[in-house]
């Protein structure tokens, strides 16, 4: 099969277009013919070597975490899916590889594709939607009447998280440029902060939840917009000790994680604020809940650009530049 392969970690290094064997199927997996693959900043960070300690992949490696396609083969223990089913998923860590013509996916991580979305739209959803769901529903327990600050509202996670938070009945604040203000308002943002001319720390007060996706400086400032008892959830680091436990990382890696987050955890505790790091995980049952929202028309996908399969490296560079409105997708078939 055709695929885009990472041979060694290096910033900006193009992936190699190659012909490789189709991956072997395990009993609890289905083989999906890839029609479209979402492109995420996580793919660029793995290529750059930023997750070597947390995710010690063996190279060479096919990148890609989001897939929409058709089941062509089912493993012996698979019961929910059959050949011909249109499906989508965020594939599991250590089984990534959606920048290819075929990818194996665990049954537990898979869901039927929303019937009102194209393959390209469906491929844009899993990673960012599960990130928002696990942050706002699972970790934050966001409730009607609460206030949530979602950073970078016009990005992949932001465009979904704003819509999800509104469905949960929350008041939503976000940051974006003036050029994207109309987009985030159309998704449901109540308060829009232009990050080029305003400092959110001067505008926002007494928020219940912050979803941080930016740098360390922004993370620190986020503490100041939360009320006591509020929750600061970050998807951009630093990892906390709880994640170290869940990841099964070696002892020295857990120690590094503890040390990296010690300062922000201490300052959060001093302000009466909860701090946690989220590294989202594949979850088919949560994805089925998300599917219902799309099929009901209460949430819509936001796709910035669809690249042809042969332009996978250009798609990755476009995402890394940080200017996409919503998601970037590769059309494979």
Taken in order of first residue, the domains within the chain and their CATH numbers are 2-125+301-331 (3.90.180.10), 128-277 (3.40.50.720)
Share of residues in the chain with pLDDT > 90 (%): 90
Backbone φ and ψ of 298, nearest 5°: -85, -20
Backbone φ and ψ of 314, nearest 5°: -65, -40
Per-residue model confidence (pLDDT) at position 252? 79
Per-residue model confidence (pLDDT) at position 127? 98
Identify the three-state secondary structure at position 7.
Answer: coil
Backbone φ and ψ of 137, nearest 5°: -90, -50
At residue 13's C-alpha, the angle toward residues 250 and 237, to 5°, is 40
139 DSSP 8-state letter? I
Per-residue model confidence (pLDDT) at position 323? 86
Per-residue model confidence (pLDDT) at position 254? 83
Query: Residue 181 forms beta bridges with which residues?
Result: none
Q: Which residue has the higher pLDDT, 54 or 177?
A: 177
Query: Residue 70 forms beta bridges with which residues?
Result: 33, 86
Q: Rounded CA gap, 45 and 47, in Å? A: 5
Q: Rounded CA gap, 21 and 175, in Å? A: 44
- Model pLDDT for residues 249-293, shown as the tens digit of each residue: 788 788 888 898 999 999 999 999 999 999 999 999 999 999 999
| Beta-carbon contacts of residue 250 (< 8 Å; ≥ 6 apart) | none
Neighbour tally for 132: CB within 10 Å: 27
Element housing 89 (H / E): strand 86-90
- Model pLDDT for residues 281-302, shown as the tens digit of each residue: 999 999 999 999 999 999 999 9
Structure tokens that stand for 199 in this block = 């400092």
- Model pLDDT for residues 11-58, shown as the tens digit of each residue: 989 999 999 999 999 999 999 999 999 999 999 999 999 988 889 999
Query: Is the model's pLDDT at 331 over the cut of 90?
Result: yes
Per-residue model confidence (pLDDT) at position 80? 97
Q: Cα(first)–Cα(last) distance of the chain, in Å?
A: 12
Per-residue model confidence (pLDDT) at position 240? 85
Share of residues in the chain with pLDDT > 70 (%): 100
At 97, the pLDDT band (50, 70, 90 cuts) reads: very high
At 206, the pLDDT band (50, 70, 90 cuts) reads: very high
- Model pLDDT for residues 153-164, shown as the tens digit of each residue: 999 999 999 999
């Amino acid at each position: 099969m055709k695929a885009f392969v990472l041979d060694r970690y290096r910033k900006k290094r193009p992936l190699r277009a190659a012909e490789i064997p189709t991956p072997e199927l395990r009993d609890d997996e289905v083989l999906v013919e890839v029609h479209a693959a979402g492109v995420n900043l996580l793919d660029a960070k793995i290529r750059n070597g930023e997750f070597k300690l947390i995710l010690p992949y063996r190279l060479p490696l096919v990148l890609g975490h989001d897939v929409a396609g058709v089941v062509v083969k089912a493993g012996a223990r698979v019961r929910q899916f059959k050949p011909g089913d249109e499906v989508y998923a965020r594939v599991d860590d250590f089984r990534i590889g959606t920048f290819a013509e075929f990818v194996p996916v665990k049954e537990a991580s898979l869901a039927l594709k929303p019937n009102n979305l194209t393959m390209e739209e469906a491929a844009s959803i899993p990673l960012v939607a599960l990130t928002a769901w696990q942050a706002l529903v699972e970790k934050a327990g966001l409730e009607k009447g609460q206030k949530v600050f979602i950073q970078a509202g016009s990005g992949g996670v932001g465009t979904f998280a704003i819509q999800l938070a509104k469905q949960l009945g929350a008041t939503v604040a976000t940051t974006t440029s003036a050029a994207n203000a109309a987009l985030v308002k159309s998704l449901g943002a109540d308060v829009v902060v232009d990050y080029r001319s305003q400092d959110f720390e001067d505008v926002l007060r007494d928020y219940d939840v912050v979803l941080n996706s930016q740098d360390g400086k922004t993370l620190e400032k986020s503490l100041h917009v939360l009320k006591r008892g509020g929750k600061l959830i970050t998807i951009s680091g630093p990892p906390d000790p709880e994640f170290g436990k869940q990841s099964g990382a070696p002892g020295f890696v857990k120690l590094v994680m503890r040390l990296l987050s010690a300062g922000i955890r201490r300052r959060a505790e001093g302000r009466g604020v909860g701090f946690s790091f989220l590294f989202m995980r594949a979850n088919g049952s949560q994805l089925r809940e998300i599917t219902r929202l799309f099929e009901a028309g209460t949430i819509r996908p936001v796709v910035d650009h669809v690249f042809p399969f042969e332009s996978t490296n250009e798609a990755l560079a476009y995402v890394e530049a940080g200017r996409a409105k919503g998601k970037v997708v590769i059309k494979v078939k």
